[in-house]
Chain A
Amino acid sequence: MALKKRIIPCLDIKDGRTVKGINFVGLRDAGDPVALAQQYADQGADELCFLDITATIEKRDTLVPLVKEIAAVLNIPFTVGGGINDVALAKEIIKAGADKVAINSAAVKRPELISELAAELGSQCVVVAVDTKRIEINDPTESSLNGFTNKVFVAGGRIETALETIAWCEEIERLGAGEILLTSMDHDGTKNGFALELTDLISRKLNIPIIASGGGGTAAHFEELFKDTEASAGLAASIFHFGELPVPELKKQLVEAGVEVRVVE
């Protein structure tokens, strides 16, 4: 008997609407994040993650009212991220009813933001998203995994930073974050499985929960994630949205494989 492994569908939001085709049977408006959120909750998702990819700097006008609407209908926890770069906006989003905020580029730019958010909102509300990619290195003196190192990327994966992923994750924990959302860019979109080796390393090193993201395509991928690493949760988007692997089916297979997940009757 243990803490259940969490399954987290992720929804991309633009101008208050979900983007990427979402194909739920019987859902009239596939672009309505509120209706989708409710459907996922009814299916037994353990938590939801909303990523706002609206390009505008001023997000308050669309994002905050949307968070309020989601909070009114959702009876499970949810995280909101995407372009959150100051304490004031994070506070507004939590006040509107989100359980956690996720920050990414803003934390790389100014790591103290993590501590400020933790002090203001409590660590449990602060998720730091880390986009990581394996980079080949030639310099043998640099710390490496068989000639490779893992580097942190920002700006939606477009810009490589100087940060090494494991060291950055340790720093994130030290600064007071409550959770890390670790996305492997090498695996994202492949549906070939999660980045097991890196997730294992980081999840064993850290005391805060790790949400693994990128590459989950089948129930077997989630099974190996939960058996071979100490990830606390697995996050995915399209496999859930397109009905390739509905949450109840995924959970059923995980239970059969001996992974402890929450099952909704």
Chain B
Amino acid sequence: MIAIVKYNAGNIGSVTNALHRLCIENKVTDDPAELQAADKVIFPGVGEAGTAMKYLRERGLDKVIKELKQPVLGICLGMQLMCHHSEEGNTDCLGIFDSPVKLFRPSRALRQAPSGNSQGEKVPHMGWNFLNTDDQLEHNESDPSENLKSGILDPRSLLMQGLAKQADVYYVHSYYAEICEHTIGICNYILPFSSMLQKDNFYATQFHPEKSAGVGEQILKNFISLP
């Protein structure tokens, strides 16, 4: 059974819809026992970090999530809440990943360049963008075991099985997780940031797999198939 963490964040319905499309049974719950007993746990979310953390703490769910032993997938706000701190509402979060979460600053200077090919970068970062940069892929292609030693996992392993080299996924966010030792996927918008994080049994995506067409479905399937 897949458990989806029920809390005061939007888009939980989108995740259940996506799982139904893949014919994967799931249950939305905030019952600690049910979360602990599930085969996999998804921690989705669209919302504000401060209010979300307050809600989780009041119900003791912060500790429950942190201590889960089965594969856990954080999505968007869920991923940001799994980091140690967010600039959004100056919020202390779960502390699973080492990345701090920061606010994008729009790159105004670029945008004021005269008409031409210069593309401005607006906030929120909303739309389809890469899951990995070329650099990251090249880096990983030579010898994945080397990358593991240097702390970078092969981005095509685990959650990225069966994906094309350059997959586009759907992002909607104004805050980003910095690149840290747990980064397994990178996107570049205004600056490079973590599009995917992993530490032990904890996985997370900044983008929305449930809204990322076939690529997102593949990632969800990969997560569900994790041992």
In contact, B128 and A264 (Cβ under 8 angstroms): no
In contact, A75 and B10 (Cβ under 8 angstroms): no
Give the bracket for the number of chain B residues in contact with chain A.
35 or more
**Which of these binds chain A: B33-41, B65-73, B113-121, B138-146?**
B113-121
In contact, A3 and B124 (Cβ under 8 angstroms): no
Q: Which residues of A contact B214 (CB under 8 A)?
A: 75, 264
Question: 8 Å CB contacts to A: which residues of B162-191?
Answer: 164, 168, 170, 172, 174, 188-189
In contact, A3 and B134 (Cβ under 8 angstroms): no
- Identify the closest chain B residue to A44 (Cβ): B213
Q: Mark B183-227, 1 if CB is under 8 A from A, else 0.
A: 000001100000000000000000010111110110000000000
- Identify the closest chain A residue to B116 (Cβ): A227
Q: Is the interface of B mostly helix, strand, loop or mixed?
A: mixed
Q: Which residues of A contact B130 (CB under 8 A)?
A: 1
B63 within 8 A of A: no
A41 within 8 A of B: yes
Q: Which residues of A contact B164 (CB under 8 A)?
A: 265
Question: 8 Å CB contacts to B: which residues of A1-49?
Answer: 1-4, 6, 41, 44, 46
Q: If the complex has contacts A4-B129, A97-B17, A122-B47, are A207 and B106 also in contact, measured as CB distance less than 8 A? A: yes
Question: Which residue in B47, B112, B124, B129 is a CB contact (below 8 Å) of A178?
Answer: B124
A223 within 8 A of B: no
In contact, B172 and A124 (Cβ under 8 angstroms): yes
In contact, A77 and B211 (Cβ under 8 angstroms): yes
A95 within 8 A of B: yes
In contact, B128 and A6 (Cβ under 8 angstroms): yes
A43-B97 Cα distance, complex, nearest whole Å: 37
B183 to chain A, nearest CB (A): 17
A83-B134 Cα distance, complex, nearest whole Å: 45
Q: Which residues of B contact A208 (CB under 8 A)?
A: 122
A3-B10 Cα distance, complex, nearest whole Å: 24
In contact, B17 and A71 (Cβ under 8 angstroms): yes
A121 within 8 A of B: yes
Question: 8 Å CB contacts to B: which residues of A83-99?
Answer: 94-97, 99
Chain A interface residue count, CB cutoff 8 Å, equals 41
A179 within 8 A of B: yes
Q: If the complex has contacts A4-B128, A209-B126, are A76 and B213 also in contact, measured as CB distance less than 8 A? A: yes
In contact, B122 and A262 (Cβ under 8 angstroms): no
- Identify the closest chain B residue to A97 (Cβ): B13
Q: Mark B149-172, 1 if CB is under 8 A from A, else 0.
A: 000000000000000100010101
Q: If the complex has contacts A75-B212, A97-B14, are A233 and B127 also in contact, measured as CB distance less than 8 A? A: yes
In contact, A75 and B122 (Cβ under 8 angstroms): no
In contact, B121 and A3 (Cβ under 8 angstroms): yes
A116 within 8 A of B: no
In contact, A95 and B13 (Cβ under 8 angstroms): yes
Q: A76-B211, A77-B211, A99-B211 are in contact. List 8 more A-B contacts (CB 8 A).
A: A1-B134, A4-B168, A97-B14, A99-B14, A124-B172, A207-B123, A228-B115, A230-B120
Shortest Cβ-Cβ A-B pairs, 4 listed: A4-B128, A262-B168, A262-B128, A124-B172
- 23 A-B pairs whose Cβ atoms sit less than 8 Å apart in the complex: A3-B121, A3-B127, A3-B189, A4-B127, A44-B213, A75-B211, A75-B212, A75-B214, A76-B211, A77-B172, A77-B208, A77-B211, A97-B17, A124-B124, A124-B172, A200-B115, A204-B112, A207-B122, A207-B123, A230-B119, A232-B126, A264-B213, A265-B164
